[in-house]
A and B are shown apart, each in its own frame.
Chain A
Amino acid sequence: MEDTLTYEEIKKDIDNLKQEKTSQLALVWSRFKRNKLALIGGIIVLIMVLIAIFAPVLAPHDPYRTAPLRRLEAPSFEHPLGTDAMGRDMLSRLIYGARVELSIGILIILFEGTIGITLGLLAGYFGGWVDSVIMRLVDILRSFPVIILAMAIAGVLGQGVYNVVIALGIVGWTTFARMVRSKILSIKESDYVEAARSIGESTPSIIIRYILPNAVSTAIIMVCIMMPTALIASATLSFLGLGVQPPIASWGSIISAGRDYLLQAPWISTTAGLFIMFTVLGFNFIGDGLRDAFDPTADRS
């Protein structure tokens, strides 16, 4: 170690190291673009997001308008995906369902992400007993199957959109915390953080200026990895009657309602499930592509 380096020189080094990071991001992006499945996933998710945003424009009918005389109608020109047991237009309900389902998914990710990233950051940065306490809590929560604990919590809190978000958030933050923690541990050892520390930057400043930006890539992957679980779990809660309640058009509760009319109107449950499947598949493709792009050593083709 030479102590002839001036403050400015070290600052410049840090900047250079950060520069390297951005070019690395460009590399990641070019790798991601070449992944065909990831591209397909991106298109699927984009379509679903557009459907959710423009639901009022796209839906041919009012998703809540009942028509008792037109119940359980087979797909026709007027009702491309048929009608449900109350004569409501299925296509419109599924389009509005995208809105409900995606917003719940985003809320869950935001909620569990906030808890998980904060606790993961604390555990990774401070280590010691802080780390032990948080990681034991993670161990404990992960001993419960996600859907079972979420079910019990949602059952206590009562039905409704926000209770689904709370229940799945309380259960789901552990994955975020673990990923963020291990990422922090590796960043903490990195040159630029060590350099920043050596010129006497304070802990909060190091966390905000160097660690958080570098954990962003992890966070992006995490969102795509967590979205499928959030979507499937929230749909499952709605299906079990513990989540979003009718008449709100959620894919999970539509499948549940269609169960009673499987023989007369199989399109109700099947189409709603297809919407869930394709949305989740889209996120899985993206997540997979991102993981490969960020970690080229992982073996693939």
Chain B
Amino acid sequence: MNKKFLLNRFGRTLLTLVGVSIIAFMILHLAPGDPARIMLGQFATEENIEIFREQHHLNEPLPVQYGAWITGVMQGNFGYSIRYNRPVHELIWTRMWPTLTLTVSALVLAVILGFTLGILAAIKRNSWLDYITTIQAMFWISIPAFWLGILFLYFFGLRLRWFPIGGMAGLASLVLPVFALGLREEAWFARPMRSEMLEVLNQAYIRSARARGIKERVIITKHALRNALIPLVTMIALRLPWIIGGSVVIEVVFAWGGMGSLLVNSVLARDFPVVQAILLLISFAVVMANLFADLLYSVIDPRIRLED
């Protein structure tokens, strides 16, 4: 990796982070009307609204407000939740782990399933397995996450009673949300994985390995798989925002007490300090994952020289 590429990439990341924080901050000011009144509701007294304005620097010009907010954020201070009357970072801290458990488990499930199906479909090209992989992927990407969650909840929770229908009581309650989230995501890995593997199998070095009489099994596991795996890093980074987005909905369906359900409730209750903080954290995670994927990509594949 050359220095110029690194500097360029870090510069862009920094710029994106600043932009992301401005958008998260501006959410509150998007609404027509007075933010203080929006948050406190229409029955708040003038006096309370004035106090609230003072507390949240709402009388200052926008850049000053942003400055105050972002300085606080960098010191770990995300402000106070209006609804819970507690520091936002405390709220988020307790809600973060359930969300991480859910999204990481779903991601692992999706990657393993999608990877296996994609590779098999490529090796057995034009077989029934290949067609089924394609068709099932089309179905999964056409199903809304919340509906799949409700279907699972109905069949496996209410009818068959195999798993709890909600809450966070042990491993059993993790099963339905993880499958509802992970199965849909599998489709997004299976199809790119298939075409990636097909491309690798068409490369000259695979053909020459075949010509040398190396067993097909060895070719696939030793030569092809290794190269087909490389883009997986980028695929995961690209799907990350969608998995996080899906987890929000799945958390609501299964009453999973994570950041997603906190976010939905905060949006509905107009508890903006919480909304801003969650928006910022999630986009921060996405930006960093992309940076990491890019860097890792250029390390594991020395052929790649990322420009711009």
Contact surface of A with B, Cβ cutoff 8 Å: 37, 136-137, 139-149, 151-158, 228, 232, 235-236, 239-242, 252, 255, 259, 262-263, 266, 269-270, 272-273, 276-278, 280-281, 284-285, 288, 298-299, 301
Q: Does B204 belong to the interface (CB within 8 Å)?
A: no
Q: How far is the CA of A141 from the CA of B24 in the complex (A)?
A: 10
B126: nearest chain-A partner, CB-CB: A301
**A156 & B28 in contact (Cβ 8 Å cutoff):** yes
Residue from A151, A270, A272, A298 with most neighbouring chain B CB atoms (10 Å): A151
Q: How far is the CA of A272 from the CA of B158 in the complex (A)?
A: 19
Residue from A147, A155, A232 with most neighbouring chain B CB atoms (10 Å): A155
- Interface segment among B49-57, B71-79, B241-249: the answer is B241-249
B146: nearest chain-A partner, CB-CB: A239
Q: How far is the CA of A278 from the CA of B114 in the complex (A)?
A: 23
- Interface segment among B82-90, B267-275, B293-301: the answer is B267-275
Shortest beta-carbon distance, B228 to chain A, in Å? 14
A240 with B249, Cβ < 8 A, contacts A143-B20, A255-B147 known: yes
A270 with B144, Cβ < 8 A, contacts A148-B282, A155-B270 known: no
**A148 & B23 in contact (Cβ 8 Å cutoff):** no
**A255 & B241 in contact (Cβ 8 Å cutoff):** no
Of B15, B30, B144, which is within 8 A of A236 by CB? B144
Residues of B within 8 A of A255 (CB): 146-147, 150
**A155 & B275 in contact (Cβ 8 Å cutoff):** yes
**A143 & B16 in contact (Cβ 8 Å cutoff):** yes
Residue from B20, B150, B158 with most neighbouring chain A CB atoms (10 Å): B150
Q: Does B12 belong to the interface (CB within 8 Å)?
A: yes
**A145 & B245 in contact (Cβ 8 Å cutoff):** yes
Of B12, B20, B158, B242, which is within 8 A of A262 by CB? B158
Residues of A within 8 A of B195 (CB): 298-299
Q: Does B180 belong to the interface (CB within 8 Å)?
A: no
Residues of A within 8 A of B147 (CB): 255, 269, 272-273, 276-277
**Interface residues of chain B: helix, strand, loop or mixed (majority):** helix
Which residues of chain B from 191 to 212 have any CB-CB distance to chain A below 8 Å in the complex?
A: 195, 198-199
Residues of A within 8 A of B286 (CB): 143-145
Residue from A137, A235, A278, A299 with most neighbouring chain B CB atoms (10 Å): A299
A288: nearest chain-B partner, CB-CB: B138
Residues of A within 8 A of B146 (CB): 236, 239-240, 255
**A156 & B31 in contact (Cβ 8 Å cutoff):** yes
Q: Does B214 belong to the interface (CB within 8 Å)?
A: no
Residue from B143, B154, B199, B245 with most neighbouring chain A CB atoms (10 Å): B245
Q: Does B110 belong to the interface (CB within 8 Å)?
A: no
Contact surface of B with A, Cβ cutoff 8 Å: 12, 15-16, 19-20, 23, 27-28, 30-31, 38, 126, 138-139, 141-147, 150-151, 153-154, 158, 195, 198-199, 241-242, 244-246, 248-249, 252-253, 263-264, 267-268, 270, 275, 278-279, 282-283, 286-287, 290
Q: How far is the CA of A234 from the CA of B279 in the complex (A)?
A: 19
Q: How far is the CA of A301 from the CA of B134 in the complex (A)?
A: 11
Residue from B19, B146, B287 with most neighbouring chain A CB atoms (10 Å): B146
**B248 & A136 in contact (Cβ 8 Å cutoff):** no
Q: How far is the CA of A270 from the CA of B287 in the complex (A)?
A: 37
Shortest beta-carbon distance, B146 to chain A, in Å? 5
Shortest beta-carbon distance, B207 to chain A, in Å? 16
**A262 & B248 in contact (Cβ 8 Å cutoff):** no
**A145 & B150 in contact (Cβ 8 Å cutoff):** no
B243: nearest chain-A partner, CB-CB: A145
**A152 & B27 in contact (Cβ 8 Å cutoff):** yes
**B287 & A273 in contact (Cβ 8 Å cutoff):** no
- 8 A-B contact pairs sorted by A residue (CB < 8 Å): A144-B20, A155-B270, A156-B30, A156-B31, A255-B150, A270-B151, A272-B147, A284-B141
A140 with B245, Cβ < 8 A, contacts A151-B264, A228-B141, A242-B268 known: no
CB-CB nearest 10 A-B residue pairs: A145-B245, A155-B267, A140-B19, A273-B147, A281-B142, A145-B241, A280-B142, A147-B245, A156-B31, A143-B283
**B138 & A157 in contact (Cβ 8 Å cutoff):** no
Q: List 7 additional contacts besides A156-B30, A266-B154, A277-B147; criterion CB under 8 Å.
A: A139-B16, A143-B283, A144-B23, A145-B245, A157-B31, A263-B158, A281-B138
Residues of B within 8 A of A147 (CB): 245-246, 248-249
Shortest beta-carbon distance, B134 to chain A, in Å? 9
Q: How far is the CA of A142 from the CA of B289 in the complex (A)?
A: 13
Residues of B within 8 A of A137 (CB): 19
**A136 & B19 in contact (Cβ 8 Å cutoff):** yes
Residue from B12, B126, B246, B267 with most neighbouring chain A CB atoms (10 Å): B267
Shortest beta-carbon distance, A244 to chain B, in Å? 14
B266: nearest chain-A partner, CB-CB: A155
Q: How far is the CA of A288 from the CA of B147 in the complex (A)?
A: 23
Shortest beta-carbon distance, B10 to chain A, in Å? 14
B276: nearest chain-A partner, CB-CB: A152
Q: How far is the CA of A152 from the CA of B246 in the complex (A)?
A: 15
Shortest beta-carbon distance, B143 to chain A, in Å? 5
**A148 & B245 in contact (Cβ 8 Å cutoff):** yes
Q: How far is the CA of A273 from the CA of B142 in the complex (A)?
A: 10
**A241 & B268 in contact (Cβ 8 Å cutoff):** yes
Residue from A144, A149, A262, A263 with most neighbouring chain B CB atoms (10 Å): A144
Residues of B within 8 A of A149 (CB): 23, 279
**A148 & B154 in contact (Cβ 8 Å cutoff):** no
Residues of A within 8 A of B153 (CB): 262
